[in-house]
């Protein structure tokens, strides 16, 4: 029998890539972590977990631990909501931006990190306004060279091509789809089948409370943290308001206030308030260098009652655990930095994801070790 047994339920963000990608990423990072920590970490093969999920084991042979990792699959839902038609994408983006701009509580949103507000609006500005701007700049020289008809066509074609290159370069199309999906979620227009899927995941987590585990973690990343709020509320309700002491909720790169601060998202607001009143450990890690994350803002900032859940909110402090060249290179890739919560760096942090998911130290002890290192 392993000396320490952990169960993890992992919910990814708005990502059409399924468990294969995340299993491969974990294998790569576990190998890096093991080499740097002097640990033998063995990641098992990915196996299907019917009806929608996948699972694999993680064993740290050096400290005698075993983790049963369940990847909660909703990538098929993401693909169903992955708008492909460019005209539909543009139109639905405009509607979503209008809804967010007019329906959020700006008294809270104005406190979000500036980079978040920039990252939120930049794809929309790039997709809508850049073609107009470039078209106007190219209009006169194109007409002078090609005449009115062909000059206008050439100016428009070049403007659209350059703008789309820029949007694609910053992963703007992914962000536009992310914004559309969350507008649908905030306006409570999602298919009821999605709710049923989340209920299925909740039952799997609740069933693990009756099993023999030293620690149970519900880990969410990015948009998965938003989807995790209804799940947590349902879990609290199912357990009569009392979650076991060895359970914890972990949110990585979270953007919960994006929906929590929508004035029209009444149901989500009530569920978030329920979660905020829960009796559980909540680790929230977010970096201000990650524009797709709302870092440093209490997830329950807009709820009517003060939060009671035991929240430890922190930056991952990548600058401390990276060599300067590594840190600068990672910061330049704004898309990949959003996945750095799942990666290992030049120096090992007590809250490195491989450490908290494979090691023999419970999450509470890892948090205390991180506090001791960072003051």
SS (H, E, C) the chain: CCCEEEEEEEECCCCCCCHHHHHHHHHHHHHHHHHHHCCCEEECCCEEECCCEEEEEEEECCCCEEEEEEECCCHHHHHHCCCCCHHHHHHHHHHHHHHHHHHECHHHHCCCCHHHHHHHHHHHHHHHHHHHHHHHHHHHHHHHHHCHHHHHHHHHHHHHHHHHHHHHHCCHHHHHHHHHHHHHHHCCCCCHHHHHHHHHHHHHHHHHCCCCCCEEEEEEECHHHHHHHHHHHHHHHHCCCCCCCCEEEEEECCCCHHHHCECCCHHHHHHHHHHHCCCCEEEEECCCCCCCCCCCCCCCCCCCCCCCCEEEEECCCHHHHCCHHHHHHHHHCCCHHHHHHHCCCCCCCCCCHHHHHHCCCCHHHHHHHHHHHHC
Answer yes or no: do 276 and 337 share one domain. yes
Q: How far apart are CA 217 and CA 54, in angstroms?
A: 16
Answer yes or no: do 230 and 344 share one domain. yes
Answer yes or no: do 144 and 217 share one domain. no
Chosen domain end from 184, 205, 239: 184
CATH number at residue 29: 3.40.50
Chosen domain end from 159, 184, 209: 184
Domain holding 17, by residue range, is 4-77+191-374
> Cα dist. 182→93, 208, 256, 295, 355 in Å?
11, 30, 10, 18, 31
Write down the pTM of the prediction.
0.92
- pLDDT tens, residue order, the chain (375 aa): 678 999 999 999 999 999 999 999 999 999 999 999 999 999 999 999 989 999 999 999 999 999 999 999 999 999 999 999 888 888 898 899 999 999 999 999 999 988 888 888 878 777 776 666 666 666 667 677 777 676 666 656 666 666 666 666 666 788 889 999 999 999 888 888 899 999 999 999 999 999 999 999 999 999 999 999 999 999 999 999 899 999 999 999 999 999 999 999 999 999 999 999 999 999 999 999 998 899 999 999 999 999 999 999 999 999 999 999 988 888 888 789 999 999 999 999 999 999 999 999 999 999 999 999 997
Which pLDDT score, from 0 to 100, does residue 154 have? 65
> Cα dist. 44→66, 242, 255 in Å?
11, 33, 31
Answer yes or no: do 60 and 141 share one domain. no
Answer yes or no: do 316 and 206 share one domain. yes
Answer yes or no: do 334 and 222 share one domain. yes
Number of domains in the chain: 2
Which pLDDT score, from 0 to 100, does residue 330 have? 84
Residue among 199, 198, 218 nearest 208 (CA): 218
Answer yes or no: do 235 and 359 share one domain. yes
Answer yes or no: do 167 and 263 share one domain. no
**Is the bond preceding residue 143 a cis peptide, omega within 30 degrees?**
no
Which pLDDT score, from 0 to 100, does residue 356 have? 97
Chosen domain end from 151, 184, 217: 184
Answer yes or no: do 231 and 360 share one domain. yes
């Amino acid at each position: 029998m392993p000396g320490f047994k952990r169960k993890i339920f992992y919910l990814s963000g708005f990502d059409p890539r399924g468990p294969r990608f995340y299993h491969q990423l974990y294998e790569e990072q576990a190998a890096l972590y093991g080499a740097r920590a002097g640990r033998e970490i063995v990641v098992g093969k990915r196996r299907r977990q019917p009806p929608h999920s996948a699972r694999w084991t993680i064993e740290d042979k050096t400290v005698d631990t075993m983790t049963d990792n369940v990847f909660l699959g909703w990538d098929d839902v993401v693909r169903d909501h992955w708008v492909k038609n460019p005209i539909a994408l543009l139109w639905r983006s405009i509607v979503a931006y209008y809804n967010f701009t007019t329906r959020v509580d700006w008294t809270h949103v104005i406190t979000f990190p500036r980079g978040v507000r920039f990252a939120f609006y930049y794809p929309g500005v790039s997709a809508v306004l850049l073609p107009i701007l470039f078209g106007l700049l190219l209009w006169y020289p194109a007409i002078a060279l090609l005449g009115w008809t062909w000059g206008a066509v050439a100016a428009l074609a070049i403007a659209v091509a350059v703008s789309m290159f820029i949007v694609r370069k910053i992963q703007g199309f992914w962000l536009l789809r992310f914004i559309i999906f969350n507008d649908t979620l905030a306006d409570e227009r999602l298919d009821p089948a999605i709710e049923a899927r989340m209920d299925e995941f909740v039952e799997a987590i609740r069933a693990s409370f009756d099993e023999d585990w030293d620690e149970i973690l519900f880990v969410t990343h990015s948009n998965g943290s938003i989807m995790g709020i209804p799940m947590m509320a349902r879990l609290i309700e199912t357990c009569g308001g009392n979650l076991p002491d060895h359970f914890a909720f972990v949110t990585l790169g979270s953007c919960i206030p994006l929906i929590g601060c929508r004035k029209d998202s009444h149901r989500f607001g009530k569920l978030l308030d329920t979660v905020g009143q829960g009796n559980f450990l909540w680790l929230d890690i977010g970096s201000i260098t990650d524009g797709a994350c709302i870092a440093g803002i209490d997830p329950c900032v807009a709820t009517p009652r003060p939060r009671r859940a035991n929240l430890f909110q922190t930056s991952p402090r990548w600058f401390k655990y990276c060599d300067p060249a590594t840190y600068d290179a990672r910061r330049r890739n704004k898309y990949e930095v959003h996945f750095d919560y799942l990666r290992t760096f030049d120096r090992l942090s007590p809250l490195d994801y491989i450490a908290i998911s494979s090691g023999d130290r419970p999450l509470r002890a890892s948090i205390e070790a991180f506090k001791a290192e960072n003051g």
